[in-house]
């Protein structure tokens, strides 16, 4: 009796698909850059070169969905972390490119650095629910023109799980490819192992950044998977109803998949989303709302409608500090996409609308992921769980503590035993100094950072990556 929820009926899925085709064909999508529009026009799209808007016919959508792989394995530098998609269980990605960090020493909010990325990824490496590493904060201490490469290489250095990040223009590609070759050993390994992927966000509403899109099309030569992450916000960059915002997000996702598959048929793509909503009182962006959770779940359903690997944003919070509000937001935005069967949820470690990285939040969120997984697993109604004989033996007024089945249950996964939530009785809790999730998580963070880095790269590879970054810092500054 697994926990189930329906977020879109079959009819609603079809309506969103049909409305999306209407948007793509009649409203169109604006493509900046040099590569996309010629490809689209050559393959039958109507292109207005003055406005750079392409009207994409259904035939192109159908063909892209036909050739896009329906399953594949995201590789990892340590193969034990390889992740097959679709997955029967939801796993997690650390959230990415936050602007700020809560300093673990001073407790003050400040801009993120490359050291913060290193520390947070070392922690994420030991989180058992995490399978995909994104650069969790923008490295403000690195040059703007090569910063994204420092962040990408930081993933390679600090974790052996699958890594995902971005590039901003084609000029950064040679340095990225050289770094990947240094870590993986060959160009064939880049293509075949797929240890690293790209995250791509269309510009809502219905636009594509030219420099980034051109670079991503070029990287198709290396078979780098792309997670497509449309981010329309209800009431600002997206329409004010959830239904129409889903249609818009779906149109942005499919327009991205069309161009990637036209350029390199069979390229692995991941259908995803990170919709938000607006605070109608202040105009602020909101990510930790029920509406965000519902839209994330509905987009997962649409990804399944297209038989694609399907992920989502989630585990999000608008809280300004760690605590109860953050936990509430994160649960309400995680349970829906977990219930919809999201392969990966992107969101661990950050609050304040995904703009504030907190090291202990990574550990807390990993525990929330376990709680949501247990909820999704539901009630096991198999024969082994029918304990009628225990009921008959104990009878009215008896006690089940001495039962062999009770002892077995204490060691089973039917009852989740948290290692982070304190469940001591009140007096014992007071004697222990009133421990809570965040304090326990801080102890775990300190323990991890005091220990050695897991699966470190060889010293010669680290030196090579540093050489590549020095060259990028110098040479890209000329552009």
Token pair of 464 as six digits: 């090579």
Instruction: Find the helix packing angle between 359-377 and 324-340, rounded to 10°.
Output: 40
The DSSP element (H or E) to which 55 belongs, if any, is strand 53-55
Distance of CA 62 to the CA centre of its chain: 26
- Positions of the chain with pLDDT under 70: 1
Q: What angle do CA 455, 349, 229 make, to 5 degrees?
A: 95
Integer Cα distance of 136 and 154 in angstroms: 10
The DSSP element (H or E) to which 165 belongs, if any, is strand 162-165
Residues with Cβ < 8 Å from 456, sequence gap 6 or more?
Answer: none
Dihedral of alpha carbons 231, 235, 238, 240, sign: positive
Q: Which residue has the tokens 């509430």?
A: 328
Quote the pLDDT of residue 1: 66
DSSP for 278-333, please give it: E-TTT--EE-SSHHHHHHHHHHHHHHHHTT--B-EE-S----SSSSHHHHHHHHHH
Would you call 477 exposed, middle or buried from its count of C-beta atoms within 10 A (0-12, 13-18, 19+)? exposed
Residues with Cβ < 8 Å from 153, sequence gap 6 or more?
Answer: 179, 465, 468, 469
Quote the pLDDT of residue 3: 78
Instruction: Find the helix packing angle between 242-263 and 58-67, rounded to 10°.
Output: 70
Quote the pLDDT of residue 398: 93
Distance of CA 228 to the CA centre of its chain: 10
Beta bridge partners of 85: 72
Any idea which fold 63-377 has? TIM Barrel (3.20.20)
Instruction: Find the helix packing angle between 173-184 and 459-475, rounded to 10°.
Output: 180
Token pair of 123 as six digits: 């922690």
CB atoms within 10 A of CB 365: 31
Q: Is the Cβ–Cβ distance between 263 and 43 less than 8 Å?
A: no
DSSP for 392-404, please give it: HHH-TT---TT-H
Return the domain boundaries, the chain.
63-377
Integer Cα distance of 331 and 316 in angstroms: 8
Q: Which residue has the tokens 């052996």?
A: 160
Q: Note if the bond before 370 is cis, omega within 30 degrees.
A: no
Q: Is the Cβ–Cβ distance between 376 and 358 less than 8 Å?
A: no
Give the model confidence (pLDDT) of 183-197 as tens digits.
999 999 999 999 999
């Amino acid at each position: 009796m697994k926990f189930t929820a329906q977020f879109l009926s079959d009819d609603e899925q079809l309506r969103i698909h049909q409305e999306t085709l209407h948007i793509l064909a009649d409203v169109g999508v604006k493509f900046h850059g040099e590569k996309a529009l010629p490809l689209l026009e050559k393959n039958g799209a109507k292109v207005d070169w003055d406005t750079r808007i392409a009207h994409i016919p259904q035939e192109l959508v159908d063909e892209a969905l036909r050739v896009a792989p329906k399953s594949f394995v995201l590789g990892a530098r340590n193969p034990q972390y390889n992740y097959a998609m679709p997955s029967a269980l939801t796993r997690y990605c650390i959230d990415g490119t936050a602007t700020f960090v809560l300093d673990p020493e001073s407790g003050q909010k400040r801009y993120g650095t490359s050291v913060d990325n290193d520390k947070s990824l070392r922690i994420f490496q030991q989180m058992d629910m995490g399978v995909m590493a994104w650069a969790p904060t923008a490295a403000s201490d690195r040059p703007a023109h090569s910063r994204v490469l420092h962040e990408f290489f930081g993933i390679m250095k600090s974790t052996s799980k699958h890594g995902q990040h971005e590039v901003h223009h084609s000029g950064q590609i040679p340095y990225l490819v050289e770094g990947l070759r240094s870590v993986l050993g060959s160009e064939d390994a880049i293509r075949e192992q797929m240890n690293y992927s790209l995250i791509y966000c269309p510009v809502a509403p219905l636009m594509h950044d030219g420099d980034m899109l051109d670079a991503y099309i070029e990287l198709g030569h290396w078979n780098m998977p792309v997670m497509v992450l449309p981010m329309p916000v209800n009431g600002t960059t997206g329409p004010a109803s959830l239904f129409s915002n889903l249609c818009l997000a779906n149109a942005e996702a499919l327009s991205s998949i069309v161009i990637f598959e036209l350029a390199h048929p069979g390229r692995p793509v991941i259908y995803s989303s990170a919709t938000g909503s607006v605070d109608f009182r202040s105009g602020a962006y909101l990510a930790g709302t029920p509406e965000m959770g519902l839209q994330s779940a509905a987009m997962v359903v649409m990804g399944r409608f297209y038989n694609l690997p399907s992920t989502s944003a989630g585990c999000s919070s608008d809280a300004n500090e760690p605590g109860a509000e953050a936990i509430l937001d994160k649960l309400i935005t995680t349970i829906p996409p977990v219930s919809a069967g999201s392969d990966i949820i992107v969101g661990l470690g950050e609050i304040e609308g995904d703009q504030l990285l907190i090291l202990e939040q990574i550990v807390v969120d990993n525990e929330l992921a376990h709680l949501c997984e247990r909820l999704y697993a539901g009630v096991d109604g198999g024969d082994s769980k029918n304990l009628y004989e225990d009921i008959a033996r104990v009878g009215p007024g008896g006690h089940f503590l001495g039962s062999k089945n009770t002892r077995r249950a204490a060691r089973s996964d039917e009852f989740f035993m948290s290692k982070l939530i304190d469940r001591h009785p009140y007096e014992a809790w007071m004697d222990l100094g009133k421990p809570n999730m965040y304090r326990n998580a801080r102890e775990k963070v300190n323990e991890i950072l005091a220990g050695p880095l897991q699966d470190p790269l060889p010293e010669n590879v680290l030196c090579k990556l540093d050489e590549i970054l020095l060259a990028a810092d110098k040479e890209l500054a000329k552009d």
